[in-house]
Structure 1
């Protein structure tokens, strides 16, 4: 299934006939100009992957495709799941952070209004920001052919992030001033990991203290100082190697 285009559906179909319609159907039929005989993949974003062949180009209506689903596969989640608490980047780097995290395999994203964030989300802007991140995650998930799409949570305060920490098997805070490297931490072979990525101005001392009191471990990812929009994706790559996520 390496070369087929992926499309997201609300409910994954079983083997047999299926009509791809709506936004995804219009994109496949009119933008990509998919034709009979071509193969594509349908996913519900919740672990189901369906390989299908196009048997008709729009017989069910304009902007739709008639498909024959040939195989349905259930893909398990990683044995170690990673939730990234991402401090709000400024400008276009906000979307870039979500795009890279999704491509790198993040399982969930929590937008965080950190003390030193230049970007400020409040009221309707917070709602729009969360919805934008969800759209970016959806599109990046299809592009990177992910059967599991990451959940994007509501905007969280520092107090709310502190409360989250207790629900995870391991919580890590990336901090360039720390001497302890990520490789020095005993990582779980299964379970849930929380990764906190601070803003460009860094995680404030009072935030580090609150997270540490809740059980989080502050670590250094490497010798280089990374931007907030890329640090999470780089850390996910490291966790992929250091845990069974990429096994």
Structure 2
């Protein structure tokens, strides 16, 4: 079933014009017609079946069916602090993190990051990342869109974290195994460096801020793989992968 994000309050029987991007995807790409069914979600936890009642060249409209609040969010709240990587690598990380149930994402500008942009290009990059996240929610069945924070320095990101979360930093050369850690009581903050990793000053900053160094075995993972692999392990250990 085709799913789209509709950023409105969903009520049964309401009719809505589709946003331009959703209209192009449904009518011009997927070739849906009036009477065809789809699913809409509001990004805040609600989902509903819907039907196209108008499907014209430049305009389409839907009618919302019975609204539901399905439980698809992981009980484990994870904030991913991810060093910004280049192009499709960052897109991949965001997409897969959403599929794996991440709660919030904080892109980091770090000393060894290969991405250096001015304010306007950061704004465009942020908008693009938001689109990647929404598309991943549409594909994966999520009904709550994870928070995407504006890019920030490591120092600023650490200062914004709540005190009670379990703080984990992926450091390939040393660290504890995830299975040796106690289950978190109030969520996890996961720190992953960019392509070149965190520099020594940043590592010390994280450790001084209460982060525990962890590693995922003897092999060094690429930045776009490391956070995704860790999220999968966290869901298996403490999340909802064991749910029936």
TM-score, normalised relative to structure 1: 0.88
Compute the displacement of 1:79 (Å): 2.2
Q: Which runs of 5+ in 2 are unaligned?
A: none
Question: In structure 1, what is the Cα distance between the partners aligned to 2:27 and 2:90?
Answer: 31
1:72 aligns with 2:41: no
Residues 1:8 and 2:5 aligned together: yes
Rounded to whole Å, the distance in 1 between the matches of 2:26 and 2:180 is 47
Is the deviation greater in 219-228 or in 116-125? Answer: 116-125
- Which shows bigger deviation, 44-53 or 69-78? 69-78
The verdict on how the C-alpha distance between 1:133 and 1:51 changes in structure 2, with shifts beyond 3 A counting, is same
Deviation string, structure 1 residues 185-212 (Cα, Å, up to 9, x no partner): 1122x52211001112222222121111
User: 2:115 maps to which residue?
Assistant: 119
Structure 1 residue 78: deviation in Å? 2.8
Query: How many Å apart are 1:168 and its aligned residue?
Result: 4.3
Q: Which residue of 2 aligns with 1:86?
A: 82
Alpha-carbon RMSD across the aligned residues, in angstroms, is 2.2
Equivalent residue in structure 1 for 2:232, among 227, 237, 240: 237
Cα distance in 1, alignment partners of residues 177 and 7 from structure 2: 42
Unaligned runs of 5+ in 1: none
1:25 equivalent in alignment to 2:23? yes
CA shift at 1:10, angstroms? 1.3
Pairing 1:153-164 to 2, within 5 Å after superposition: 153-164=149-160
- Where 2:32 maps in the other structure, the secondary structure is coil
Q: Which residue of 1 aligns with 2:39?
A: 41
CA gap 1:170/1:7 in 2 versus in 1, 3 angstroms: same
Matched-pair contact (CA < 8 Å) for 2:15–2:62: yes
In 2: Cα distance, 1:202 partner to 1:26 partner: 40
Residues 168, 194 of structure 1: 8 Å contact kept: no
Distance 1:53 1:224, change over 3 A: same
Match among 213, 216, 223 for residue 218 of structure 2: 223
Does 2:205 align with 1:197? no
**Equivalent residue number for residue 183 of structure 1:** 179
Deviation at 1:37, TM superposition (A): 4.6
CA distance in 2, matches of 1:122, 1:220: 33
Note closer, same or farther for the CA distance 1:68–1:147 as it changes in structure 2 (3 Å cut). Answer: closer
- Structure 1 203/67 Cα, relative in aligned 2: closer, same or farther at 3 Å? same
Deviations 1:26-79 (A, max 9, x none): 43233222234533111111111112244x3338x9421332413422537432
- Secondary structure of 1:78's aligned partner: coil
Displacement after TM superposition at 1:17 (Å)? 4.0
